[in-house]
Every structure is written in structure tokens, then in C-alpha cells.
């Protein structure tokens, strides 16, 4: 058995000078290098997004500087890098076309103020109620719109105002393409696609930067006549105050709300995504909205684009080793210095190079993983409708239509019920009807049709697994049951779900969270009220027995009287752990007389005199000819497996018992195939060891002097199970792996 020792840590006194010194060391070692990498990624992206938004080029740099410094300093997500984002390009382009640039900056200012109010009112998490599928589809629609626009620029033309026009004019644009612009844009696209596969140190250089540098160098070296970025001075010269509208206040307010909502949702989703990339402090989403709002307010006042948290820069920030918000602030400072002192460099960049960059960025917003997830979860129609609406209508209408479709789909799923009927056994005398889901008057036609398919006079078991049952559905079931009994049949209604039949006729329908307790599926704590300290400590047990006498004893009594021979002689011997979360009869849906249960710490099988009680139980069970299987069942979070991994705080008695688990530990340590399979499935080391332990007990049982001969002769099966308590899932474990036992 392995013995693990703790590594002592020595901490210096927590004085203020030491804390400051350690902080600045961390900044110099981790945050400064990361900020340079993020700056190199942000520079070309900010220029490209400004072009795609039909905004002044410098507006992208202003937003990048303000986003990095202000949002980085005030936001609640330290490693979230902010700046102009592709998700708002279509919206900004529409606002510029409708209001002009100065009014658009005023919309940005007002949207920032609204974001600050959102943050102060502490409703940040409410913004996450928007379906992720709609958000993913929105980004995909934006990406396709950007690609459709910029492909015209790459071919030497100008983008059109609508997606329809961009698609309709594309054939003519292809025929009149300018080779020089296509070559420059093609260099950018090819470089960005190839750079992902570059190995070694070169891969650390941002692909967008390499692509723009190569394309610009090629346009200067080769005799290529291409249009280049035109700037009028430095970033300081581009600063301009916004102007307020003298009319169209409703349209202006709609624009403010649109920018505020989209910027907020994109920033919050990015913050949540970044939290999953590192192990540091989690984001304060309300503070993040305040920081984003402050950045948008200042960016609009200075003549910049709207600002959001940007997942591309943020992922780069985390991957580059950033430890604090100093990295995001510094990347904004580097952008400011570049925009002031190196304007001439920017003016050498060809417009078609930025077009190629934006085409790749736009296509990358359409993620195959999101499409597969939408298909897997049944939300593909929401995704497709949202994408099409965003591309061919506009962003606001597209998102609204997507949300409506998502809500309709949720309602349809909520009222859907699964109803099936089938004969049981060889004869048609015994039938089973299953009703699963939400059973309302909307289900009455189908419910009636399925119930009428059951032959008159048949004996029917109705499994009613519903969480909502209204009076209309109740009447359909009751009338059919009465007719079935009148023709000589029997109807037994097994109320498994959260809604009781009798309640449907006695009160308005509602979901009953604890109705399943009648089936004995919940622990004492879920059914009994908190009691005073002076109450009887035995009360939960006594209350449970009273509940049994009221609800279960009559059912069992009827069952035994109906067929007294059923269940005599156990069918399986069940070896499992003493953990109270493992309930063998519950996870096997078995009843009295079905299982012989042996429980010990870690579901171990010691031999002979070590534990004669287990040998006696095996011998007694094997004498019964009805026994057909021996089951070994481990479980997640097993304390015995945790003790095997770390003995430091294990009681002596437990340590003595776990000697019997040494073969399991050795197999786990040596790379047992079950452990490898469990690791690939995402189980932690403790659960991997628990699965290996089950496989080891299977091996031990096959060699056991009592069990082995029956197994060799084929009279007895040996089965391994693993119960994942948190998910309620039962897996079958073999000596080489495991399998899912769920059928649907």
C-alpha cells in the first residue's frame, strides 16, 4: 500500500513590504511578458474590427487602449482582456449608416452608463439567462456577415450594405477581382491557417501579427498596387467628442439598449469562459459590468468603438502566463505608445490584408463544436434560425427571433409526454403502459389513442412517471381504467413521478417536489422537518417506520398474498461498500428476497479466517440453487479508496482492514486498463482506484474456492458495477474497462 507524505511549506512573515515586493516580482516575471503577447494580438484585430465597423481606423485603437487600461483596472475579471470585439461590428456598422459616426459614439457613451447601472443593480447573472445556443448562433451570424462583407474588399471592391446584396454581387466581383489585392489577402489567410500548426518557439508568436507583417512586407517588396490604411495623424488627433441627436430618439434609445445588452452578454460570457481557464480568483460579474460600462463611457467620449471582453485576447493572456490585472492594463499602455509614436507603420498595412484577417476571424466565429452541441441537444433549429436571421435581417431582430424560437422549443418540451403501450410476455393478457413527462390536456388525444390500443379485458400495469398532471388527463386515464375493469381486466397504476393521480381532481395542478418520497427514494433529511435539540434522536427512524406502515407495507402485503412464491431464494449476492449513499435495492430496482447483501469498507473480499462472516455468507448463499450471480459494486467518493491514496489521517483499524486492498492499489499504480479508461472519461484518481478495486475483486472471486467452481461451470455470473453517486449513474466494470448500462 502506498504511503504519501506531505511537503511542508515555509511562509515568510506577511509584512506589507514583502507583499509588495512579491507582487512586483510576479508582475515582472509573468504579467509583463504576457501583456506584450496580448498587445501583439490586439493590434491587428483592433484595426480590422474598425474597418469592418465602417468606423475611423483610430477608433479601434482608442477602444483597445481604453478597454485595456480602464476595463482592466476597474473590471471584476482580472485576466479578461477587453477591447473592440467582432461581435459588435454589424451593430456599429448599422448605427454608423443610420446616425453617422459622432452620434454612434454618443450611443456608446449612453450604453456604457447603462452598463454601469446594470452592474450597480447587481443583475449581471440575469444576463446569463439568455440561451447559450442563441449567443453562439449570434456570433456565428456576425462572423458570416463579416466574411461576406470583407470578401468583396479582398477581391478589390467594396462591401455592400446587406447580406443579400453581398451574395448577389459576389459572382460579378469574382470576375472583376484585382490580382494584387487577392494575393495580399491570400497571404494573410494562408499564414493564419498554417500558423496554428507551426511547432516550437515560433508558435508563441501571434498568428495575426505574423500574417499582417508578411502581407505588408510582400506588398512593399513586390510591385503590387494596393490600397493602404489612411490615417490623419496619431491617436491623439483622432479624439473627438460625441454629438447628441436632434431627433430619432426612439431609434437612438434602441441603439443604446442593443449595444449595452450585446456588450454586457458577450463580456459576461467571456468572463465565465476565462474563469474556466485558470485556477485563480473567480470573476465578480457585477463589478465587471461596471468596469465595462466605464470603459465604454470613456471610449465613446474619446471617439472610440464600443468595448467588450474579448475571448481571443483573454485566452492568449491566460496561456501566456498572466497572473493579475497588470497584464491587461499594460497591454493597453503598449497600444497607446504604439498609436502615438508608430503611426507611420500602421499606414503601410494594405486594406486587403485586414480583409483577409477579418475573413478568417469571421469564419472562426462559426464553431463546429457549437453546431455539434446544438445537434446533440436538439437545439439545431434554434441555431440555424438565429444565424439566418442575424445574417439576412439584422442583429437585434435575429437575436429576438432566436430567443422566441428557443422559448417555443422549451414550451414544446415542457408539454411533451412520452406514452407507450406494449404486451408483456408471450401472451397478450398482460400489458404495460408507460406515461412519462408532463401530462396535460394537450396530451389527451395521444393518450386516448394509446390507451385504446390495449385490448379489452387485459391486465394492465400503468407506470405513471409524470411531474405534472392536470384534470383533463386524469379524467382520460380514470375513464379508460373504469372501462378496462368493466371488461374483466385489471388496472394497477404505479405512481412513480412527482404528481399524484388523486391530487389532479382535488386541487389545481402543480409540481410536487417531494411526491417521489412516497416511493422511498429520498433520505430522511428530505422529508422531515428540522427538530429541536431536545427531540428524540430516534425520531427519524420511528417516522420512517411509520411512513413504511402507511405507504409500503400494504403494497408488500398485497404482493406476497397475490404470489407468495415470488422472490423466494435470492437471485444475486451483492457485495458493496458500507457507504450510506449506496442503496443496493434502489439502484437494482429489486425487492425483498432478491438480494443477499454483504457490506464492508471498500467492498473487499478477504479469504478464510480473516473474515469468516463473509465466507459464511457466501457459503449460505451458494447453497440456494436460485442464486445466479455475484455482484461487486464500488462507488464514487469512496473513503476507503481515499485512505489508500493518502494514509496520513487514517485510523489504525481502517488501515488494518485496507491491507486486503493492496492488490487493487498495486494494479492501479501499475497502470491498470480500467484506470486508464476511467481517466479518459474524466474520473479523478479516487474513482479510478475504486473502479480498479472492483475489477480486482472480480478477479479474486473467479479464483475463490467457493465461487470459482460455480463460475467455471457456467452456473454463476460475476458482475462488477460502479455507482456514480452524484449523477445517479451505474456503470458495468469489467477487468479491462467499463460500459454505460443506461438504455436511453
Q: What is the pLDDT of residue 515?
A: 45
Per-residue pLDDT at 291 exceeds 70: yes
Of 544 and 105, which is predicted with more confidence? 105
| pLDDT given at position 63 | 94
Element (H, E) at 452: helix 444-452
Per-residue burial over 381-415, b if 16 or more Cβ lie within 10 Å, else e, is ebbbbbbbbbbeebbbebbebbeebbeebeeeeee
- Span 41-63, mean pLDDT? 85
Residues 6+ apart with CB under 8 A from 434: 418, 419, 420, 421, 462, 463, 465
Q: What distances in angstroms separate CA 109 from CA 48, 236, 254, 296, 425, one per listed residue?
A: 22, 19, 14, 6, 72
| pLDDT above 60 for 191 | yes
User: Per-residue pLDDT tens for 674-716?
Assistant: 999 998 888 888 999 999 999 999 999 998 888 888 888 888 8
Distance, CA of 594 to CA of 596 (rounded, Å): 7
Residue 306 CA to residue 335 CA, distance in Å, equals: 17
Least confident of 87-96, 196-205, 259-268, 443-452: 196-205
Please give the order of strands across the beta sheet that includes 430-439: 417-423, 430-439, 459-469, 491-495
| pLDDT (average), residues 121-150 | 77
Q: Which of 2-6, 169-173, 272-276, 480-484 is predicted with the least confidence, judged by mean pLDDT?
A: 2-6
High-pLDDT (> 70) share of the chain, %: 83
Side-chain-facing half-sphere of 627: CA atoms under 13 Å = 22
Check whether 513 has a pLDDT greater than 50: no
Task: Point out the least confidently predicted range of 6-15, 130-139, 265-274.
Answer: 6-15
Domains identified in the chain and CATH numbers: 28-367 (no CATH), 416-522 (3.30.750.24), 569-740 (3.40.1050.10)
Q: Identify any residues that bridge with 596 across adjacent strands, giving them in sequence order.
A: 573
Higher-pLDDT residue of 96 and 37 is: 96
Is this structure's pTM higher than 0.85? no
The lowest-confidence range among 52-56, 200-204, 261-265, 679-683 is 200-204
Amino acid at each position: 500500500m502506498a504511503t504519501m507524505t506531505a511537503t511542508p511549506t515555509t511562509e515568510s512573515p506577511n509584512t506589507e513590504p514583502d507583499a509588495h515586493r512579491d507582487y512586483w516580482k510576479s508582475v515582472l516575471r509573468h504579467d509583463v511578458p504576457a501583456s506584450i503577447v496580448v498587445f501583439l494580438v490586439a493590434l491587428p484585430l483592433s484595426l480590422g474590427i474598425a474597418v469592418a465597423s465602417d468606423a475611423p481606423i483610430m477608433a479601434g485603437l482608442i477602444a483597445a487602449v481604453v478597454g485595456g487600461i480602464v476595463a482592466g483596472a476597474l473590471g471584476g475579471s482580472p485576466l479578461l482582456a477587453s477591447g473592440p470585439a467582432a461581435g459588435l461590428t454589424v451593430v456599429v456598422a448599422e448605427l454608423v449608416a443610420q446616425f453617422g459616426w459622432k452620434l454612434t459614439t454618443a450611443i456608446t457613451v449612453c450604453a456604457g452608463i447603462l452598463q454601469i447601472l446594470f452592474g450597480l443593480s447587481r443583475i449581471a447573472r440575469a444576463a446569463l439567462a439568455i440561451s447559450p445556443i442563441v449567443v453562439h448562433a449570434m456570433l456565428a451570424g456576425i462572423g458570416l456577415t463579416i466574411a461576406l462583407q470583407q470578401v468583396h474588399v479582398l477581391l478589390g471592391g467594396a462591401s455592400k450594405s446587406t447580406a443579400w446584396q453581398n451574395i448577389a454581387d459576389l459572382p460579378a466581383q469574382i470576375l472583376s477581382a484585382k490580382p494584387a489585392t487577392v494575393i495580399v489577402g491570400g497571404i494573410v489567410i494562408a499564414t493564419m491557417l498554417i500558423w496554428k500548426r507551426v511547432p516550437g518557439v515560433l508558435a508563441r508568436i501571434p498568428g495575426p501579427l505574423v500574417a499582417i507583417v508578411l502581407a505588408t512586407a510582400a506588398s512593399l517588396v513586390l510591385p503590387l498596387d494596393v490600397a493602404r490604411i489612411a490615417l490623419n495623424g496619431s491617436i491623439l488627433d483622432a479624439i473627438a467628442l460625441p454629438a447628441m441627436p436632434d431627433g430619432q430618439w426612439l431609434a437612438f434609445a434602441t441603439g443604446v439598449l442593443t449595444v449595452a445588452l450585446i456588450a454586457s452578454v458577450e463580456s459576461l460570457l467571456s468572463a465565465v469562459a476565462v474563469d474556466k481557464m485558470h485556477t485563480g480568483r473567480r470573476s465578480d460579474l457585477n463589478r465587471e459590468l461596471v468596469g465595462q460600462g466605464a470603459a465604454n463611457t470613456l471610449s465613446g467620449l474619446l471617439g472610440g468603438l464600443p468595448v467588450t471582453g474579448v475571448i481571443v485576447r483573454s485566452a492568449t493572456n491566460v496561456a501566456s502566463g498572466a497572473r493579475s490585472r497588470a497584464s491587461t492594463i499594460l497591454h493597453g499602455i503598449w497600444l497607446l505608445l504604439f498609436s502615438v509614436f508608430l503611426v507611420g507603420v500602421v499606414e503601410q498595412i494594405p486594406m486587403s490584408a485586414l480583409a483577409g484577417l477579418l475573413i478568417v476571424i469571421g469564419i472562426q466565429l462559426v464553431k463546429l463544436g457549437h453546431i455539434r452541441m446544438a445537434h446533440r441537444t436538439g437545439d439545431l433549429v434554434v441555431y440555424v434560425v438565429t444565424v439566418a436571421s442575424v445574417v439576412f435581417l439584422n442583429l437585434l431582430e435575429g437575436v429576438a427571433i432566436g430567443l422566441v424560437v428557443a422559448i417555443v422549443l422549451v414550451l414544446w418540451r415542457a408539454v411533451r409526454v412520452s406514452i407507450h403501450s406494449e404486451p408483456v410476455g408471450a401472451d397478450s393478457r398482460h400489458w404495460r403502459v408507460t406515461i412519462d413527462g408532463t401530462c396535460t390536456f394537450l396530451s389527451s388525444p395521444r393518450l386516448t389513442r394509446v390507451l385504446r390500443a390495449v385490448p379489452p379485458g387485459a391486465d394492465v400495469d400503468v407506470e405513471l412517471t409524470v411531474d405534472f398532471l392536470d384534470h383533463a388527463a386524469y379524467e382520460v386515464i380514470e375513464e379508460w381504467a373504469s372501462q378496462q375493469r368493466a371488461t374483466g381486466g385489471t388496472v394497477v397504476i404505479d405512481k412513480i413521478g412527482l404528481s399524484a393521480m388523486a391530487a389532479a381532481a382535488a386541487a389545481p395542478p402543480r409540481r410536487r417536489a417531494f411526491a417521489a418520497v412516497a416511493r422511498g427514494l429520498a433520505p430522511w433529511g428530505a422529508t422531515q422537518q428540522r427538530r429541536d435539540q431536545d427531540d428524540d434522536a430516534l425520531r427519524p427512524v420511528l417516522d420512517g417506520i411509520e411512513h413504511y406502515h402507511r405507504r409500503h407495507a400494504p403494497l408488500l402485503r398485497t404482493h406476497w398474498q397475490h404470489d407468495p412464491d415470488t422472490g423466494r431464494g435470492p437471485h444475486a449476492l451483492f457485495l458493496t461498500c458500507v457507504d450510506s449513499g449506496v442503496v443496493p435495492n434502489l439502484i437494482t430496482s429489486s425487492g425483498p428476497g432478491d438480494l443477499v447483501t454483504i457490506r464492508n469498507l471498500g467492498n473487499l473480499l478477504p479469504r478464510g479466517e480473516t473474515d469468516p462472516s463473509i465466507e459464511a455468507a457466501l457459503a449460505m448463499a451458494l447453497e440456494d440453487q436460485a442464486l445466479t450471480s455475484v455482484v461487486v459494486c464500488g462507488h464514487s467518493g469512496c473513503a476507503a479508496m481515499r485512505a489508500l491514496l493518502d494514509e496520513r489521517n487514517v485510523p489504525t483499524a481502517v488501515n488494518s482492514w485496507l491491507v486486503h486492498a493492496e492488490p487493487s492499489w498495486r494494479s492501479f499504480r501499475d497502470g491498470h486498463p480500467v484506470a486508464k479508461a476511467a481517466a479518459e472519461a474524466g474520473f479523478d484518481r479516487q474513482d479510478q482506484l475504486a473502479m480498479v478495486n472492483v475489477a480486482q475483486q472480480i478477479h479474486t472471486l473467479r479464483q475463490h474456492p467457493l465461487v470459482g467452481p460455480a463460475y467455471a461451470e457456467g452456473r454463476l455470473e460475476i458482475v462488477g458495477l460502479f455507482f456514480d453517486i452524484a449523477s445517479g449513474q451505474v456503470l458495468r466494470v469489467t477487468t479491462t474497462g467499463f460500459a454505460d448500462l443506461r438504455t436511453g
